[in-house]
Structure 1
């Protein structure tokens, strides 16, 4: 989700502000990309490599960020067998883009998951 700003708080919860837009002008305003994952119980404590790339309408990567975590650790109240909530907020600074269609593409362990594209338009 694209939003003006957000913060990840306890237990995978998010506080999201100014969410739901998909059209911006250039230079783009500072914003955040919010990623909400449901991690299968069988993948708890398994390290994840995440990449968030900005791609143009032709799929060319224009930039991005990568990171790794030590896996999603179950909270004490987690129910065995139930997927674990995990969230990530990626702040994005203002930058110029030519008018057109773009997307943020998420990769988890080098694979793009279902719903791993977040499109937006620069007017």
Structure 2
């Protein structure tokens, strides 16, 4: 399995076509200290792994690899999203269809976070507790 992450201003996964519709895609530098963003995740899954379920964690860390914390339910919690990945294409796929990996994607819309200017951050995608992809970004210092 391969995974790729792209940061964008907004994105939406189309369940009907499997396509990802993105606006302001592939940025790594922002002027806003509280950017609204979407983390778009793209997966390439071999047919042999199609029916296997995988757990994932998408987490935000700072330049020192420490979890970024955000207020949640009266306390601070790491900024992370967890879920299960399951891809099913059906057993009746012919040999022609199986000539390429299965492409799948999902989007996680992130509410504005209180992040510091002049700092670097990184989104990390772990699948089955192994890091598969990351995307870093920095916030310009208004100095």
Range class of TM-score, shorter chain: 0.7 to 0.9
Provide the secondary structure at the position in 2 that maps to 1:98.
coil
Q: Which residue of 1 aligns with 2:27?
A: 21
- Provide the TM-score with structure 1 as the length reference: 0.88
Provide the secondary structure at the position in 2 that maps to 1:121.
strand
Deviations 1:26-64 (A, max 9, x none): 432211000011011111111111110001111112221
Q: Does 1:64 align with 2:64?
A: no
Q: Which residue of 1 aligns with 2:7?
A: 2
Provide structure 2 residue ranges, at least 5 long, that are not aligned to the other structure.
Answer: 1-5, 69-78
Quick check: which has more Rg, 1 or 2?
Answer: 2
Runs of 4+ in structure 1 over 3 Å off: 75-78
Q: Which residue of 2 aligns with 1:102?
A: 121
Alignment counterpart, residue 101 of structure 2, candidates 58, 83, 89: 83
Q: Say how many residue pairs are matched.
A: 120
Q: Which residue of 2 aligns with 1:120?
A: 137
Provide the secondary structure at the position in 1 that maps to 2:130.
coil
* C-alpha deviation, 1:81, in angstroms: 5.0
* C-alpha deviation, 1:11, in angstroms: 4.2
Which deviates further from its counterpart, 88-97 or 25-34?
25-34
* Distance in 2 of aligned mates of 1:108 and 1:44: 14
* Distance in 2 of aligned mates of 1:35 and 1:87: 5
- Provide the TM-score with structure 2 as the length reference: 0.76
Change (3 A) 1:48 1:11: farther
